[in-house]
């Protein structure tokens, strides 16, 4: 046995372990996704940057931290940095927002819906979120909510969901919960479901 024949299975196991996450759980008409799975997806989707003023400013959003309190709005925090004219980013602070959710069949994912910035903690004492930075942040947030999901459903499950109508999306017991118009449990093959 050579070194390469031992290395390939080990690399495959490591790749599977680092990319694996739990499947959504399905119970009747309801599909649920744990906060840890959404956080894992977010960790792989950030940092994100957006340029403004023809590239003179760049906003970088990083370190997303999700909580799913009871109710219909999630909480999301992230760190915010700004760079001017191609310079190194400077930490601006930590932004806290809340948002309801929507399921988008086109992206097969959950998107922020009507996000609002609830709090800002500056990186330096006495600093504030000025109007131009707030405007850039709101522009990025609206674009992100429209185009990018905070979590994308496995394509095999999403294909089944495509024929169903979403009745509601909310948060239950620390999980995102989607109610459909039909029994999803009967439509999704058992091997795709979480326990």
Q: Are 165 and 9 in contact (CB under 8 A)?
A: no
Give the pLDDT confidence score for residue 22 in this predicted structure. 56
CB 97 within 8 A of CB 118: yes
Query: How far is CA 135 from each of CA 59, 129, 138, 140, rounded to the nearest angstrom?
Result: 11, 10, 5, 9
pLDDT at 17: 32
Question: Can you give the pLDDT at residue 192?
Answer: 60
Residue 68 to residues 75, 90, 152, 174: CA-CA distances in angstroms? 6, 29, 17, 5
Does residue 49 sit in helix, strand or coil? strand
Q: Which two tokens stand for residue 132?
A: 């131009």
CA distance 33 to 110: 10
Find tokens 């109610």 and name the residue.
179
Report which secondary-structure segment, H or E, holds 9.
Answer: helix 3-19
Q: What pLDDT is recorded for position 194?
A: 55
DSSP 24: P
SS (H, E, C) 67-127: ECCCECCEEEEEEEEEEECCCCCEEEEEEEEEEEEEEECCCCEEEEEEEEEEEEEECCCCC
Please, what are the averages of pLDDT over each run of 10 residues along the chain (195 residues)?
34 33 78 94 93 81 94 93 85 94 89 92 80 82 93 83 82 91 77 56
pLDDT of residue 190: 65
Question: Smallest Cα–Cα separation from 53: which of 129, 139, 149?
Answer: 139
Residue 67's pLDDT is what? Answer: 96
Phi, psi torsion values for 154, nearest 5 degrees:
-50, 130
């Amino acid at each position: 046995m050579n070194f390469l024949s031992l290395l390939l299975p080990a690399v495959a196991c490591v790749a599977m372990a680092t990319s694996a996450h739990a499947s959504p759980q399905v119970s009747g008409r309801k599909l649920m996704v744990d906060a840890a799975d959404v956080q894992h997806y977010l960790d792989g989707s950030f940092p994100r940057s957006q340029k403004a003023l023809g590239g003179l400013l760049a906003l970088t959003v990083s370190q997303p931290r999700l909580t799913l309190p009871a109710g219909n709005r999630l909480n999301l925090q992230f760190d915010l940095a700004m760079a001017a004219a191609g310079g190194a980013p400077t930490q601006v602070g930590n932004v806290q927002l809340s948002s309801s959710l929507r399921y988008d069949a086109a992206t097969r994912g959950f998107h922020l819906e009507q996000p609002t910035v609830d709090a800002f903690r500056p990186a330096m004492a006495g600093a504030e979120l000025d109007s131009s930075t707030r405007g850039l942040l709101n522009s990025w947030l609206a674009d992100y909510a429209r185009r990018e999901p905070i979590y994308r459903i496995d394509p095999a499950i999403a294909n089944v969901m495509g024929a169903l109508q979403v009745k509601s999306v909310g948060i239950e017991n620390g999980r995102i919960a989607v109610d459909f118009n039909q029994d999803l449990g009967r439509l999704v093959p058992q091997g795709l479901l979480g326990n």
